[in-house]
Amino acid sequence: MINDKVLSIILGGGQGSRLYPLTEKRSKPAVPIAGKYRLVDIPISNCINADIKRIYVLTQFNSAGLNKHIKNTYQFSFFSSAFVDVLAAEQTPENKTWFQGTADAVRQCMPHFLGNDFEYALILSGDQLYQMDYDKMIEAHEAAGAEISIATIPVNAKDATGFGILKANNENIITSFIEKPDASLLPDWTSEVSDDMKNEGRHYLASMGIYIFNKDLLVTLMDNQDTMDFGKEIIPQSIGSHKTLSYQYEGYWTDIGTVESFFEANLGLTDSIPQFDLYDNNRRIYTHARMLPTTKVAGTLLEKAVISEGCIIAATKIEKSVIGIRSRIGKETTIINTYMMGNDYFETLKEMESNKIEILMGIGERCFIKNCIIDKNCRIGDDVKIVGSKLLEDTETDTYCVRDGIVIIKKDAIIQKNTIIE
């Protein structure tokens, strides 16, 4: 099988500062998404769906939670060679530094990779939302006799200035590359795309940060100790000297790099026909198997809402919101345009009745919450009003942040009764 030749390497990212405070206590690939998953589940699931089952995840910041999630989730037969392993940055006699970039991370972990028999390294990002058939990309790579393949997606002129833009010939071989070009340069950087993409004004090929390298070439490139990053150094330096293929992808893809993109990607799941399809039998998204009860809803109007397992909901209305596992929402509460990540455990009836707990886990009664991200295990008291908007300035307190007009309640935060944030 072709996928027996492939080793997958998922780059866990750096500190994830643009996703703060969601990355304050966890690594970026461990950030909860869609109510019940973690970001890292997306590339891992894409690999499993393509029958690629030798997978390394490279990380270095706040990696304990990610380690636990992967250990508890991805367990294969003892009689197979399949694995999903975390490789955290480590000091060795030869190297005493942290990962200095994407290429440096791969370089430092090469001894682990070379312990496997493979022909191609599939290098992926750990913070993107998409469903790609890697089989087709690998087949195109082999058919073209390429040494490097880069997944590319057509983008419009407005978005092109924020990406690495590639130019390919009529055989999809990349001839040139420019990093985040100025708008004035774009007329010289159009590529041949499908008619559907042309009709949408998407004439430029952006790198998706998804690469295939022939093993021998990757080993050679990693010998250069001066290169630290794939997108900024390895790829531009390789074009022209190594046959590099552009593999065009036209499906849904978004880079979860900022709080705003993370928020929009989650709320997009509430659309009648979401662009990211969680209901595809052939492209399942895998995650930790939890033995949770069904969700219980009483007297609540649900409008474009995604509700995960194990929730107890008595709200008046939930509109265009994603409600995560084990969430509790009190009576006469309204939630709009909100991602509530849920809880890691249930609070027992005995604990709820205890006088020691003044504010229960979840959202209390008579609250109004809009344009908000509520991280795990938060306690929001009764009669709280939280309304995010572009009128709010970026700010930070002990319990919440405001980023791009979105109010983010921090993990484990307690919001007192009658609090108003708007």
pLDDT at 15: 66
Determine the Cα–Cα distance for residues 422 and 25; give it in Å rounded to an integer: 25
Residue 364's pLDDT band (cuts 50, 70, 90)? very high
Determine the Cα–Cα distance for residues 303 and 316; give it in Å rounded to an integer: 11
Is 21 among the domain residues?
yes
Q: What are the start-end ranges of the H helices in 243-371?
A: 259-267, 349-353
Is 284 among the domain residues?
no
DSSP symbol at 281: T
Same domain, 304 and 361: yes
pLDDT at 282: 87
Q: Which residues pair with 305 in a beta bridge?
A: 321
Higher pLDDT residue, 74 or 17?
74
Is 231 among the domain residues?
yes
Q: Tally Cβ neighbours within 10 Å of residue 400.
A: 22
pLDDT at 321: 98
Same domain, 234 and 175: yes
Same domain, 151 and 96: yes
Is 277 among the domain residues?
no
pLDDT at 107: 85
Domain boundary among 270, 285, 310: 270
pLDDT at 21: 94
pLDDT at 94: 62
pLDDT at 91: 59
Same domain, 256 and 318: no
Same domain, 168 and 27: yes
Residue 391, domain CATH = 2.160.10.10
The tens digit of pLDDT for each residue in 191-204 reads 888 899 999 999 99
Task: Please state at what angle helix 215-222 crosses helix 102-113, rounded to 10 degrees.
Answer: 120
Q: What is the mean pLDDT of residues 267-288?
A: 93
Same domain, 197 and 310: no
Residue 72, domain CATH = 3.90.550.10
Instruction: Report the chain's mean pLDDT, rounded to a whole number.
Output: 91
Same domain, 399 and 315: yes
Determine the Cα–Cα distance for residues 330 and 298; give it in Å rounded to an integer: 10
For the cut 90, the answer to whether the pLDDT of residue 61 exceeds it is: no
Residue 96's pLDDT band (cuts 50, 70, 90)? low
pLDDT at 54: 94
Number of domains in the chain: 2
Q: For the residues of 191-237, what is the DSSP string, one character each?
A: ----HHHHHTT--EEEEEEEEEEEHHHHHHHHT-TT---IIIIIHHH
Same domain, 153 and 22: yes
Domain range enclosing 336: 296-421
For the entire predicted model, the pTM comes to 0.93
CA nearest neighbour of 381 among 368, 367, 369: 367
Cα dist from 355 to 188, 241, 350, whole Å: 69, 71, 10
Class of residue 335 by CB neighbours under 10 A (exposed 0-12, middle 13-18, buried 19+):
buried
Same domain, 24 and 131: yes
Domain boundary among 270, 286, 314: 270
pLDDT at 223: 85
Same domain, 253 and 372: no
Same domain, 256 and 395: no
Is 278 among the domain residues?
no
Is 229 among the domain residues?
yes
Domain boundary among 270, 285, 305: 270
Is 291 among the domain residues?
no
Q: Collapsing DSSP states into helix, strand and coil, what is residue 168? A: strand
Same domain, 8 and 117: yes
Q: Collapsing DSSP states into helix, strand and coil, what is residue 344? A: coil
pLDDT at 420: 97
Contact 141, 247 (CB under 8 A): yes
The tens digit of pLDDT for each residue in 216-271 reads 999 999 987 778 888 888 888 898 899 999 999 999 999 888 999 999 999 999 99
Cα dist from 372 to 133, 281, 409, 412, whole Å: 33, 31, 8, 15
Contact 220, 147 (CB under 8 A): no
Is 290 among the domain residues?
no
For the cut 90, the answer to whether the pLDDT of residue 132 exceeds it is: yes
